[in-house]
């Protein structure tokens, strides 16, 4: 079990929780450091996916449309 | 068919983005690659409808997303318990994507509604503007903002970044007071 450490630490440090206002008054909002952490993790996750090698057959779709000119131009 | 080199380049550069979006959306790499392939083929077939000067990537994102929703609707018709089937399909996802090593994030994203998931991934991960995300998702700016906000809150819970259920200073203070009171 993980404790709610982020919120706990904030309360210990400053006695208050900074809140990111991203929505209207009825929207839930996250503490600033949680929002920042979440953003970082999402971007790292996505960068990881982007680095996954693109399958050959997807690249070949583009080569096919170029016709013979680059059909054998694999690299 | 001859294609303008700059258009070709834009399509080529969009592919990793399309894949990352499709994997995030569907939670299934094999299916994601099918989605990307379909979007590329459909995009190339309809290149005459692409307006030069506009964003090729966003255009392809829209095509891919539309296909995803079409598939999802078809699956709903085919399977009686559509939500159960969807959940089941997404549940096998972490195993399939083990080689991608971000299964915890994929699993958490899979627990969001598809509308929240696509909005959050587009803006917070892919980095498109709220306006562009609204356009790609075919909805209003306000709706997109609201979906992203709810998605962030839910995802933070799912990833154990915040205590579950209620988030907000009031609840936290109350929880702390209760904790102290019980010590």
Q: What residue ranges define each of the domains in chain B, with the CATH number in brackets?
A: 1-99 (1.10.1740.10), 112-183 (1.10.10.10)
Compute the average pLDDT of residues A25-53.
Answer: 87
A17: left (phi over 0), alpha (psi -120 to 50) or beta: beta
Q: What is the pLDDT of residue A28?
A: 60
> Cβ-count burial of B34 within 10 angstroms (0-12 exposed, 13-18 middle, 19+ buried)?
middle
The verdict on a CB contact (< 8 Å) between B12 and A57 is no
- The pTM for the full model equals 0.73
pLDDT tens sequence across B49-68: 998 888 999 999 999 999 99
Domain boundaries, chain A: 30-75
A21 interfacial to chain B (CB closer than 8 Å): no
DSSP SS3 for B51: coil
Q: Find which of A42, A62, A75 to mutate to test the B interface (most B CBs within 10 Å of its CB).
A: A42
Compute the average pLDDT of residues B108-120.
Answer: 96
B165: left (phi over 0), alpha (psi -120 to 50) or beta: left
Most confident of A5-14, B109-118, B160-169: B109-118
Has residue B18 got a pLDDT over 90?
A: yes
Query: So what's the ipTM on this one?
Result: 0.77
- Chain A residues within an 8 Å CB radius of B37: 57-58, 61
DSSP letter assigned to residue B47: G
A53 interfacial to chain B (CB closer than 8 Å): no
* Tokens (6 digits) for B76: 């709903």
Average the pLDDT over each of A27-31, A70-74, B60-64, B129-133 and give the range with the smallest value: A70-74
> In Å, how far are A3, A6, B130, B176 from B170, measured between CA atoms?
18, 16, 29, 10
**C-alpha distance from B72 to closest chain A C-alpha (Å):** 23
The verdict on a CB contact (< 8 Å) between A57 and B152 is no
- Chain A residues within an 8 Å CB radius of B169: 16-17, 19
- Chain A residues within an 8 Å CB radius of B146: 23-24, 27
Average the pLDDT over each of A20-24, B121-125, B149-153, B159-163 and give the range with the smallest value: A20-24
Which of B98 and B65 is assigned the larger pLDDT?
A: B65
pLDDT tens sequence across B33-48: 999 999 999 999 999 9
Q: What is the pLDDT of residue B25?
A: 95
| Average pLDDT value for chain B | 84
| Dihedral sign from CA coordinates of B154, B159, B163, B164 | positive
Q: Which residue has the tokens 């503007």?
A: B129
User: Which chain A residue has the Cα nearest residue B175?
Assistant: A8
| Average pLDDT value for chain A | 69
**C-alpha distance from B71 to closest chain A C-alpha (Å):** 20
DSSP SS3 for A19: strand
Has residue B104 got a pLDDT over 70?
A: yes
């Amino acid at each position: 079990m993980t404790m709610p450490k982020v919120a706990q630490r904030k309360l210990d440090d400053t006695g208050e929780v900074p809140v990111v206002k991203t929505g209207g008054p009825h929207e839930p909002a996250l503490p600033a450091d949680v929002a920042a952490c979440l953003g970082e993790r999402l971007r790292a996750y996505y960068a990881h996916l982007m680095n996954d090698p693109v399958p050959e057959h997807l690249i070949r779709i583009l080569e096919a449309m170029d016709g013979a000119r680059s059909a054998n131009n694999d690299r | 068919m001859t294609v303008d080199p700059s258009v070709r380049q834009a399509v080529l550069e969009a592919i990793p983005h399309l894949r990352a979006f499709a994997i995030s959306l569907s939670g299934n790499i094999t299916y994601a690659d099918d989605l990307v392939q379909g979007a590329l083929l459909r995009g190339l077939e309809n290149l005459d409808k692409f307006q030069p000067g506009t964003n090729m990537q966003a255009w392809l994102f829209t095509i891919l997303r539309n296909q995803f929703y079409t598939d999802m609707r078809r699956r709903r018709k085919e399977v009686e318990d559509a939500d159960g089937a969807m959940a089941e399909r997404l549940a096998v996802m972490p195993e399939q994507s083990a080689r991608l090593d971000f299964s915890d994030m994929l699993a958490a994203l899979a627990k969001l509604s598809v509308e929240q998931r696509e909005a959050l991934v587009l803006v917070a991960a892919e980095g498109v503007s709220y306006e562009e995300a609204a356009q790609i998702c075919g909805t209003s700016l306000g709706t997109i903002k609201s979906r992203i906000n709810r998605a962030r809150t839910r995802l933070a819970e799912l990833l154990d970044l915040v205590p579950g259920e209620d988030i907000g200073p009031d609840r936290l203070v109350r929880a702390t007071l209760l904790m102290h009171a019980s010590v």
